[in-house]
């Protein structure tokens, strides 16, 4: 029989190298092992035409103004919205590595206005939960160097981290903060518990939009 329960929309956020990919992949695998329909996605989605331009920008082979790249990151989310919505309504839980919060935080860290940055993302689907992996960027840097992409620099990561903290406070009703320096296993266990409860809580709720 067709189920009319929807999936949950779960987002992972945080600075570079805090373990978002590891934790989001592990959560997705765990849900699937339990027989729950789940799909892992990430933003930027580098597989689209817009995503390819973003990829070239991040790899430093393409220069774009702060405003233009900001709008492309947002457009990259918009171009995936109908498929995300269809999956959620069909009962598939979406685990998403980065979303509109990364969009705002990295652009504001470069000097753009926060309200201006938020505007293009208004109306996107709102996550049911954001799992924020928090780590002090100076401590992260001491574990080894960042990568070579455009934003992987300590100075910028410090600003990014402060801005994520700001969102975490402001959006505390659905943000959950975790200490990224806990062991992989501890984090996975805490995150899975919250996610599994969430699935039950949202199954009959309508999808919401970012306001
Ligand atoms: N990033 C990511 C942005 O600047 N804006 C966005 O909207 C998104 C989704 O892209 F430095 C930045 C964050 C990061 C870079 O992301 C690539 P991944 O997760 O490291 O691939
Ligand atoms: Mg990265």
Contact 122, 78 (CB under 8 A): no
Domain extent, residue 23, equals 9-202
- Number of the ligand 1 atom closest to the C-alpha atom of 103: 7
Give the number of whichever ligand sits closest to the CA of residue 12. 1
211 assigned to some structural domain: no
103 assigned to some structural domain: yes
Mutate to test the pocket of ligand 1, among 12, 21, 44 (most ligand atoms within 8 A of CB): 44
209 assigned to some structural domain: no
4 assigned to some structural domain: no
Alpha-carbon distance of 62 to 49, in angstroms, equals: 14
What is the tens place of the pLDDT at every residue in 106-120?
999 999 999 999 999
Count the domains in the chain: 1
Ligand 1 surroundings by CB, under 6 angstroms: 16, 43-44, 58, 73, 98, 102-103, 106, 151
Q: How far away, in angstroms, is 44 Cα from ligand 1 center?
A: 6
174 assigned to some structural domain: yes
What are the E-state strand segments in 67-114? 93-97
Which CATH number belongs to the domain containing residue 30 in this structure?
Answer: 3.40.50.300
52 assigned to some structural domain: yes
Mutate to test the pocket of ligand 1, among 23, 41, 45, 102 (most ligand atoms within 8 A of CB): 102
- Number of the ligand 1 atom closest to the C-alpha atom of 97: 19
Alpha-carbon distance of 100 to 153, in angstroms, equals: 21
Task: Tell me what pLDDT residue 142 has.
Answer: 86
The DSSP line for 9-60 is EEEEE-STTSSHHHHHHHHHHHHHHTT--EEEEESS-TTSHHHHHHHHHHTT
What 3-state class would DSSP assign to 150?
A: coil
What ipTM is given for this predicted complex? 0.98
1 assigned to some structural domain: no
Q: What is the mean pLDDT of each run of 10 residues along the chain (211 residues)?
A: 84 97 98 98 98 98 98 99 98 98 98 98 98 96 88 96 98 98 98 98 98 97
2 assigned to some structural domain: no
């Amino acid at each position: 029989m067709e189920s009319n329960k929807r999936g949950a929309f779960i987002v992972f956020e945080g600075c570079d190298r805090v373990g978002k990919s590891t934790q989001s992949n592990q959560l997705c695998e765990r849900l699937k092992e339990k027989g729950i329909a789940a799909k892992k996605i990430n933003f930027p989605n580098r597989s689209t035409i817009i995503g390819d331009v973003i990829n070239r920008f991040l790899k430093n082979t393409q220069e774009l103004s702060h405003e233009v790249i900001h709008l492309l990151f947002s457009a990259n989310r918009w171009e995936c919205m109908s498929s995300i919505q269809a999956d959620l309504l069909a009962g598939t839980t979406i685990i998403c590595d980065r979303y509109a919060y990364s969009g705002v935080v990295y652009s504001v860290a470069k000097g753009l206005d926060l309200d201006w940055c938020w505007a293009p993302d208004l109306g996107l689907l709102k996550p049911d939960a954001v799992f924020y992996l928090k780590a002090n960027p100076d401590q992260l840097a001491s574990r080894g160097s960042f990568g070579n992409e455009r934003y992987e620099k300590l100075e910028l990561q410090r600003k990014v981290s402060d801005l994520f903290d700001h969102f975490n406070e402001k959006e505390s009703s659905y943000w959950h903060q975790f200490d990224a320096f806990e062991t992989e296993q501890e984090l996975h266990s805490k995150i899975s518990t919250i996610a599994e409860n969430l699935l039950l809580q949202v199954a009959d709720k309508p999808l919401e939009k970012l306001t």
